Amino acid sequence: MSTAKRKKLLTGPILLSAVKDSFVKLNPVTLLKNPVMFVVEIGTIIVLLMVLAPGYFHAEQSMGFNITVFCILLFTVLFANFAEALAEGRGKAQADSLKKTKQDITANKLVGTAIKTVSSSELRKGDIVVVSQGELIPGDGEVIEGLASVDESAITGESAPVIKEAGGDFGSVTGGTRVVSDEIKVRITSDPGESFLDRMISLVEGAKRQKTPNEIALNTLLISLTIIFLIVVVTLRPIAGYLGIALDIPVMIALLVCLIPTTIGGLLSAIGIAGMDRVTQFNVLAMSGKAVEAAGDINTMILDKTGTITFGNRMASEFVPVGQETEVDLTAWAAISSLKDETPEGRSVIELAKKLERSYDSSLGDGGEFVEFKAETRMSGIDLRDGRSVRKGAVDSVKKWVLSKGGQIPGDLDSRSDDIARLGGTPLAVAVDNRIYGLIYLKDTVKPGMKERFEELRQMGIKTIMCTGDNPLTAATIAREAGVDDFIAESTPEDKIEVIRREQAQGKLVAMTGDGTNDAPALAQADVGLAMNSGTTAAKEAANMVDLDSDPSKIIEVVAIGKQLLMTRGALTTFSIANDIAKYFAIIPAMFTLAIPEMEVLNVMGLGSPSSAIISALIFNAIIIPLLIPLAMRGVSYKPMSSSRLLGRNLFIYGFGGVVVPFVGIKLIDMVVSIWI
Amino acid sequence: MGTLQMVVVILILLLLVKPVGTYVYHVFSGEPNRTDKWFGRTENGIYRLIGLKQREGMSWKKYALSFILTNIVLVAFSYIILRVQRGLPLNPNGTSDMEQTLTFNTVISFMTNTNLQHYSGETGLSYFSQMAVITMMMFTSAASGFSVAIAFVRGITGRESVGNFFEDFVKAHVRIFLPLALLVTLILVGLHVPQTLKPTLEVTTLEGQAQHIAIGPVASLESIKHLGTNGGGFFGANSAHPFENPSPLTNVLEILSMWMLPAALPYTYGMFAKNKRQGWVIFTAMMTLFVLLLGLNYYAETRGNPAINALGIESSQGSMEGKEVRFGIPQSSLFTTVTTAATTGSVNNMHDTLTPLGEITPLALMMLNNVFGGKGVGLINMLMYAIMGVFLCGLMVGRTPEFLGRKIEAREMKLIAIAILIHPLIILVPTAGAFLTELGKGSITNPGFHGMTQVLYEYVSSAANNGSGFEGLADNTSFWNITTGIVMLLGRYVSVIAMLAVAGSLLRKNTVPETTGTFRTDNGLFTGILIGTVLIIGALTFLPVIVLGPVAEYLTLR
């Protein structure tokens, strides 16, 4: 989904259907899933009965008050339902747009050698289909023959087509995507209803949403707080009765609703859904909420060097002159040799020369003849019009070439080139006819910003381990440059599993990314496995998250989203519970002042009258839910920092804030309410 | 002067925390140490006698079961003795058998370390019952609670198992309670507390009247009464009685006896956790709440009773009603605060006559039941709040909350939910129930707000296994005997078993290594969080009843 499309998702229709859903969700059977709000609903119904049959309850005198209480309570439930419906609505809208992709597709099934046209819904695992240019791929599968470019924008939102070919790690295709060129044979790997698209739809729809372990634990706490306050309020009636204080049922219900954690109770499921949604918007598909939560707990992250930490291709990083030559000359000739070289290495030489602000006469190359790199010569270069030949290439080859032209080999060439090789770089020698000017130091470059990212991870307490097939020396160089904590050189897929097991044995949670089939076991072993959408089906099956953009460094953002999800939950719970102090001070004096006038001293907020105090507290309790919906949906802001600073900050905002805000809020509401009461 | 008296006692306590805590750690750590030499032989003798050859670690279930079964056996034994005490030896005063419901209440009261006394020791018990039931249970119930607390600590700090109940039980007796009780008894005897098996003295007063002066083996009971945070007095007047607590010196000794072990346990816990700061965090939170509530009581009592002040009666001493002149306000305030914090329940002044605001101190301490607390239960409860605090605030650092390196998940929260629910449930429900029946209401001797506090106090004291009486309530009726009996039972066993299950569950978990992303529980910030959690979750629950009782009484007292 493109950014534009994503933003549009929160539109009028979604709001409208959320409003509708908040009424549908009033059904007590649905609401039973949320015990806190269920208690509020029961209270609402009791007050409604008192409004409808005042004679039976002897509540004729307090009709106006009861109707007000009923309305506020009803809105409290509606607001909570609205929060959930809104969070779900965004998912549903995404699912709908995906469903459009999932029409019935005609498939060309290969039966023996003949091609039979069938509907995609008739395809079963193991069937083979032929897909030609312009056709939709009828189901998930592996390319077994051919090569084609495929437009996967329906799934990833990325418009540039990707190449899919038989064998290797780029063989998996997704149903519903379109072949834009050539023809491929695909072996179907999923039965109808179980395809990637189906799973994606059900995930974003939230249909199969299960409560995550942390949500269950938190819910337990909320339920027990609700029961405690239920006990407090129910037992208060006979106790106050002994003292000759009559407590009206609506007042008791008001006290109960204010004390039980309705704020977090109303927003809890919205926070969970929105957290998943944020991951989806990030174009990462999490197979379960549990995986997102686990991401927040990650202690160790295993990252492939190539493609994740580095660009993967070797780029010029330094010009090393040899013998008597100067760097200026070397740079000029290196650049000239690369003028017509379109390989990434060649372009990087020009880039580096530009970066070093070296000037050279590029017109020298005009009209020259480009000599392409060949496996036999292992050199490339240019033959200039003035007859001179410029070459760059493997040191041995260039040496041979220069010697054949009768040149001299500078004494320090070998030692210099060995130095570069030892550091994991690739030395390229640059020569003009019989004269060697020096070396280009090619190295694998760390992506910009990675060092800072790893520093952030370290602050979050996450250890990073880099896996690479390089020799230990090269690995150490890149590791130092990127700032990872540890590395495994010459690693095999088995090594990765080994490392994951070792870390897990120490009680750590491990995240990793992977794309190849041989990554699958490690992805399955890891607590959070992020597979690339471009990767094999096996890898995607084994992982618990799939990145549709195939950007392995995204795992870092996923961790941040996981943390943010947990933080939002914690922050709103703390806020909700801290609110109780102010609510007590609003309602307790209001309940007892009529019978015990001296209780007025407890009315520290100076609220207008007992009725206005109770109503103000209830209104505050209700409107805080919609006011916090944006926060619940967006998540609390998260910047990587040490846990103590993070805690101090959040505790101040949501803990201290949770104590103070309701005092102010209730007072303000009371000033308005007092005008009428 | 008054403040200084209290400060000195607190300072002595602070000096005792480290040595006593270290000693307790060595008793239970299982690592070889010097104390083995002194007590090893006695213990091995006992192990041989009871056939405890293999003392391997138990599962939490087995530990809990051993704890309960041991308690059941002791309850049955005690019940029989009290019911037939008349015919048993050592009954020089011819005390008759105890009534059924009163026996039920008494036996539970002492087994649960509550020591709520609906009987009067002078007339209700024979010397044999005092020794074989009351004093025996004072040892065994304290040792039971201590063992369970140690087991819980072993569980959450990740020892190989929660330990072996019988071994802990024996060690708690042999290495802690018996030697300390012996020492304190001798000192008390030296300070003129009676210790004799002679019958009640009959003396003729100067006016020629015959007077009966009750005596008996007081000092031996007095020592374990405080060391084991039991609180059941030899005499009805408890530690206000001049034979139980003759002087300010014995008063300080008794305060320290009951306070020392509960205050040292957090330190022991810190040693088990291999991070003493963890222990100090718990201790600091406890001490902060303690000092706040002590201050409230002292302030209220020194200000005196406004109704009496209004009569123009000299009241520079503060409210001395129900207090002993030999102790004065500071020694009474401190005793009241310590006895309800450490859930001992002995009293050296009548809590019924505390000023309304002063009443809040004992009530609040028992409602929290975690400010030091008796026989280990206080530590367990405080750690339960610590786990809750970790759960709430730990989320705010963006990780699944973990305590001492173990994740707090749904199972632990469910068990903690049980433990946290049971306390308000068994206080508020019976209190409300008592007001619905004449059986309950009829016992109130001082109607109005104070009467409401009388009833509340009775159940709070039972639920917290404190046992101090607000007195003034006519509580030796079947209604009170049975209801408080049930409350004491639930108050003791439900939370202890739930928390042992938490320990068992945490023990099975992998430890998560500590990183900079870990939520720290050994710093000042966490002390604040802990106090906040205790106040918001523990105290707010009881705010309405406190407002209707002491606060209303205070506001209306003119």
Q: How far is CA B34 from CA A567, B18, B31, B269, in A?
A: 49, 17, 10, 20
The answer to which of A139-143, A170-174, B17-21 has the lowest mean pLDDT is A170-174
Structure tokens at B288: 């902060």
Could you tell me if A453 and A376 lie in one domain?
no
The mean per-residue pLDDT over the stretch A541-547 comes to 85
Q: Which residues contact B404 (CB under 8 A, 6 or more apart)?
A: B156, B157, B158, B273, B278, B506, B521
Does A513 share its domain with A579?
no
| Distance (Å, whole) CA B410 – CA A425 | 52
H or E segment to which residue B178 belongs: helix B178-190
Chain A positions touching B397 (Cβ under 8 A) are 567, 570, 643, 646-647, 650
Give the domain CATH number at A161: 2.70.150.10
B208 CB burial (10 A radius; 0-12, 13-18, 19+):
exposed
Within 13 Å, how many C-alpha atoms sit on residue A527's CB side? Answer: 25
β-pairing, A114-119 vs A106-111, is antiparallel
Identify the CATH number of the domain in which residue A512 sits.
3.40.50.1000
Cβ atoms A224, B417 nearer than 8 A: yes
Q: Work out the minimum CA distance from A306 to partner chain B, whole angstroms.
A: 28
Instruction: Check residue B534 and give its pLDDT.
Output: 93
User: Is residue A109 included in any domain, yes or no?
Assistant: no
Cβ contacts of B440 within 8 Å, gap of 6 or more:
B433, B434, B455, B479, B480, B483
Cβ of A567 and B523 within 8 Å? no
- Please state, in angstroms and rounded to a whole number, the distance separating the CA atoms of residues A545 and A554: 11
Of all residues in chain A, the one with the smallest CA distance to B535 is A581
Contact A235 B429 (CB under 8 A): yes
Is the Cβ pair B394, A570 closer than 8 Å? yes
Neighboring chain A residues of B399 at a CB cutoff of 8 Å: 296-297, 563, 566, 643
Tally of CB atoms within 10 A around B72: 11
**pLDDT tens string B399-409:** 888 899 888 98
- Is A21 within any annotated ligand binding site? no
Which residues of chain B does A292 touch, with a Cβ-Cβ cutoff of 8 Å? none
In a domain, A618, yes or no: yes
Of A603, A644, A582, A677, give the one whose Cα is nearest residue A263: A582
Task: Express each pLDDT in A342-373 by its tens digit.
Answer: 777 888 888 888 888 877 777 777 778 888 88
> Are A562 and A556 in contact, with CB atoms under 8 Å apart?
no
- Domain ends where: A394, A410, A445? A445
- Helix A63-101 to helix A262-281 angle (10° resolution) is 20
Q: Do A647 and B525 make contact, defined as CB atoms within 8 angstroms? A: yes
- pLDDT confidence of residue B533: 92
Tell me what pLDDT residue A169 has: 64
- Measure the CA–CA gap between A591 and A596, rounded to whole angstroms: 9
Q: State yes or no: pLDDT of A1 exceeds 60.
A: no
A158 with A209, same domain: the answer is no
What secondary structure does DSSP assign to A218-240, as a single string?
Answer: HHHHHHHHHHHHHHHHHHHHHHH
User: Do the Cβ atoms of A361 and A332 come closer than 8 Å?
Assistant: yes
Nearest to A460 among B417, B513, B517 (CB): B517
**Torsion angles phi and psi, residue B357, rounded to 5:** -70, -35
Does residue A571 contact residue A271 with C-beta atoms inside 8 Å?
no
**Are the C-beta atoms of residues A629 and A266 closer than 8 Å to each other?**
no
Is residue A113 assigned to a domain? no
* Residues of chain B with C-beta less than 8 angstroms from the C-beta of A299: 512-513, 515, 517
As given in the structure block, the two tokens for residue B451 are 């009467």
Residue A2 lies in a domain: no
Best residue in B281, B385, B397 for a mutation probing chain A (most A CBs within 10 Å) = B397
Say if A641 falls within a structural domain: yes
CA A272, distance to chain mean position in Å, is: 13
Rg, chain B, Cα only? 23
Radius of gyration of chain A (CA): 34
CA of A532, closest CA in chain B: separation in Å?
25
Q: Are residues A58 and A78 in the same domain?
A: yes
Question: What gap in Å lies between CA A255 and CA A337, rounded to an integer?
Answer: 83
Place of tokens 């992982």: A543
Q: What is the pLDDT of residue A2?
A: 39
- CB spacing of A227 vs B421 below 8 angstroms: yes
Residues A338 and A440 in one domain: yes
Question: How close B293 comes to chain A (CA, Å)?
Answer: 19
Based on the fold, state whether residues A38 and A129 are members of the same structural domain. no
pLDDT band at A208 (very low <50, low <70, confident <90, very high): low
In a mutagenesis test of the B interface, which of A243, A557, A563 is the best target, namely the one with the most B β-carbons within 10 Å? A243
Does the structure show a pLDDT above 90 at A99?
no
Residue A70 shares a structural domain with residue A219: yes
- Report d(CA A172, CA A139) in Å as an integer: 11
| DSSP label at residue B542 | G
B91: domain range?
A: 2-557
The pLDDT tens digits of the residues spanning A589-623 come to 998 988 888 888 989 888 888 899 999 999 999 99
Give the DSSP H or E segment for A394.
strand A389-394
Instruction: List all residues 6 or more positions away from A344 whose beta carbon is below 8 Å from its beta carbon.
Output: A313, A314, A315
Residue window 91-130, chain B: list those with CB within 8 Å of chain A.
none
Q: Is A304 a catalytic residue?
A: yes
Q: Is A345 annotated as a binding residue?
A: yes
Q: How many CB atoms lie within 10 A of CB B115?
A: 32
Query: Which residue of A229, A563, A573 is in closest CB contact with B399?
Result: A563
Determine contact, residues A577/B392, Cβ cutoff 8 Å: yes
Q: How far is B222 from B203, CA to CA, in rounded Å?
A: 25
Question: Which token pair is A361?
Answer: 């006469």
Write down which residue in A548, A571, A589 finishes a domain: A548
Does residue A196 lie within any of the structural domains? no
Give the helix/strand (H/E) hosting A625: helix A610-634
Half-sphere exposure of A455 (CA within 13 A, CB side): 7
Strongest mean pLDDT among A63-67, A537-541, A631-635, B18-22 = B18-22
- Residue A376 and residue A473 share a domain: no
Residues A71 and A215 in one domain: yes
- Distance between A212 CA and the closest CA of chain B, angstroms: 10
Q: How far is B555 from chain A (nearest CA, A)?
A: 6
Query: What is the CB-side half-sphere exposure of residue A605 using CA atoms within 13 A?
Result: 31
Q: For residue A195, say whether it is annotated as part of any ligand binding site.
A: no
Q: Residue A398's domain is classified under what CATH number?
A: 3.40.1110.10
Which member of A21, A151, A304, A580 is catalytic? Answer: A304
Q: What percent of chain A has pLDDT over 70?
A: 95
Q: What are A487-522's pLDDT values in tens digits? A: 988 887 788 888 899 988 888 889 988 776 677 888
Tell me how far CA of residue A53 lies from CA of A56, A66, A69, A611, B132, in angstroms.
6, 11, 15, 21, 64
Residue A648 with chain B: CB contacts under 8 Å? 525
Is residue B380 within 8 Å of B148, Cβ to Cβ?
yes
End-to-end Cα distance, chain B: 29
What pLDDT score was predicted for residue B329?
93
Nearest-angstrom CA–CA distance, A208 and A287: 10
B54: Cα separation from own chain's centroid: 32
- At A210, list the tokens: 């299960």
To which residue do tokens 């409350």 refer?
B487
Do A425 and A453 fall within a single domain?
A: no
How close is the nearest chain B Cα to the Cα of A619, in Å? 21
Could you tell me which of B280, B10, B46 has the C-alpha nearest to residue B174?
B46
Domain count for chain A, please give it. Answer: 4
| pLDDT at residue A3, rounded to an integer | 41
Instruction: Give the residue with greater pLDDT, B147 vs A170.
Output: B147
Q: Are B112 and B466 in contact (CB under 8 A)?
A: no
Can you give the residue range of the structural domain that contains A236?
12-94+204-280+559-674
- My answer on whether A227 and A83 are in the same domain is yes
Contacts of A349 (CB under 8 A, 6+ apart): A316, A334, A335, A337, A338, A341, A392, A440
Q: Is residue A137 within 8 Å of A173, Cβ to Cβ? A: yes
Q: Which residues of chain B does A502 touch, with a Cβ-Cβ cutoff of 8 Å? A: none
**Which residues in chain A touch residue B277, judged by CB atoms under 8 angstroms apart?**
none
Residue of B363, B396, B487 to mutate, testing the A interface (most A Cβ within 10 Å of its Cβ): B396
Read off the pLDDT of each residue in A544-565 and give the average, rounded to a whole number.
84
Cβ-contact B536, A577 below 8 angstroms = yes
- A379 annotated to bind ligand: yes
A644 and B540: CB-CB below 8 Å? Answer: no
Question: How far is CA A666 from its chain centroid?
Answer: 37
Closest chain A residue to the Cα of B414, Cα to Cα: A220
Contacts of B410 in chain A (CB under 8 A): 213, 216-217, 220
- Same domain? For A474 and A394 the reply is no
CB A530 within 8 A of CB A558: yes
Q: Is A378 annotated as a binding residue?
A: yes
User: Which residues, including other chains, have CB under 8 Å from residue B360's CB and lie 6 or more apart?
Assistant: B293, B296, B297, B300, B546, B550, B551
To test the contact with chain B by mutation, choose from A229, A235, A258, A563 the residue with the greatest count of B C-beta atoms within 10 A, namely A235
A289-296 vs A262-281: helix axis angle to the nearest 10?
Answer: 90
Question: Would the CB atoms of A243 and B525 count as touching at under 8 Å?
Answer: no
CA-based end-to-end distance of chain A:
52
Provide the number of structural domains found in chain B: 1
Contact predicate B176/B170, CB 8 Å? no
List the one residue out of B324, B327, B332, B325 whose CA is nearest residue B301. B332
**pLDDT at residue A313 greater than cutoff 70:** no
User: Rounded to two decimals, what is the model's pTM?
Assistant: 0.85
Contact A243 B517 (CB under 8 A): no
Spans of chain B below 50 pLDDT: none
Q: Which amino acid is at A168?
A: G
Q: Is A177 part of any known ligand binding site?
A: no
Q: Higher model confidence: residue A535 or residue A378?
A: A378
Helix or strand or coil: residue A178?
Answer: strand
Looking at A422, A445, A468, the residue that finishes a domain is A445
Q: How far is CA A403 from CA A325, A431, A432, in A?
A: 18, 11, 12
Chain B: residue nearest A220 by CA? B414
Q: Which residues of B touch A235 (CB under 8 A)?
A: 428-429, 431-432
Amino acid A10: pLDDT: 58
What tokens were used for B99? Answer: 């009534």
